[in-house]
Amino acid sequence: MLAVEQLGMRIRFLRKEKKLSQEDLALEANINKNYLSDLENGRRNPSFEILEKLAVALGISLSDLFKGIESIPGI
């Protein structure tokens, strides 16, 4: 699994853990709901700015956002 897919799964997990809908998190992070959906499904490569907005909206650090995500060598 690609790192961007793992990141999307991590964002979805954290969002659900906070009991937020995609719309709620998108509003809090000031991003488009469809963009958030694409992120969660591994279809987008987010910028650092977007990652920072998501971390703030989720009330976590950037390092917490990446917990458990590993790059696969050779990809």
Q: How many domains does the chain have?
A: 1
Q: What is the DSSP letter of 31?
A: S
Q: What angle do CA 56, 47, 31 make, to 5 degrees?
A: 55
The CATH number of the domain holding residue 34 is 1.10.260.40
pTM more than 0.85: yes
In a domain, 70, yes or no: no
The answer to whether residue 74 sits within a structural domain is: no
Q: Are residues 8 and 67 in contact, defined by beta-carbon separation less than 8 angstroms?
A: no
Q: Give the number of residues written for the chain.
A: 75
pLDDT bin (cut points 50, 70, 90) of residue 1 is: confident
- Which residues span the domain enclosing 10? 3-65
Residue 75 lies in a domain: no
Confidence of residue 73 (pLDDT cuts 50, 70, 90): low
What mean pLDDT do residues 44-65 have?
Answer: 96
